């Protein structure tokens, strides 16, 4: 299994809603990532978990809250988002030997729209 699975594929939420994005991998990878990608722009790193510990937080606003319940799962909790947060949210994983500088396996993403 070389897949990273993300749910939901699409999400529409209001600015007062609370929602969560989920990501799962069963490749035994020990590093997991959240990226944000706006249309026609490159992915931007948000968070990195290495061995279930948050190792990188790219100064992301607190309305985004990551969680890594175990080595296979990664969540992104969303609360009080703004319309400018609308984007494709990509989860990725890698072996974890050389965090970030390794081949990344991406999920197909959650397309988020904030109204």
Which residues in this chain contact other proteins in the complex, by CB under 8 A? Answer: 4, 40-45, 48, 55-56, 58, 90, 99-101, 103-109
Q: Report the C-alpha gap between 115 and 105 in whole angstroms.
A: 30
The CA distances from residue 14 to 68, 70, 83, 111, in Å, are: 25, 29, 9, 14
Q: Of the two residues 46 and 81, which places its CB atom closer to other proteins in the complex? A: 46
CB of 32 to other proteins, least distance (A): 14
What are the C-alpha distances in Å from 83 to residues 6, 46, 72?
Answer: 22, 18, 30
Nearer to other proteins, 53 or 101 (CB): 101
Identify the CA nearest to 5 among candidates 32, 27, 25. Answer: 25
* Shortest Å distance, C-beta 70 to other proteins: 22
Name the residue nearer to other proteins (CB basis): 42 or 83. 42
Distance of closest approach, residue 35 Cβ to other proteins, in angstroms: 9
């Amino acid at each position: 299994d070389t897949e990273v699975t993300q749910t939901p594929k699409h999400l529409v939420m209001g600015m007062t809603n609370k929602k969560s994005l989920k990501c799962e991998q069963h490749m035994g990878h020990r590093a997991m990532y959240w990226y944000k990608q706006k249309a026609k722009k490159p992915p931007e790193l948000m968070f990195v978990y290495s061995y279930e510990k948050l190792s990188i937080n790219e100064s992301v606003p607190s309305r985004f809250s990551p969680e890594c319940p175990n080595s296979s799962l990664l969540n992104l909790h969303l609360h009080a988002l703004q319309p400018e947060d609308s984007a494709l949210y990509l989860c990725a994983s890698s072996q974890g030997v050389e965090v970030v500088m390794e081949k990344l396996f991406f999920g197909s993403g959650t397309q988020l729209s904030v109204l």
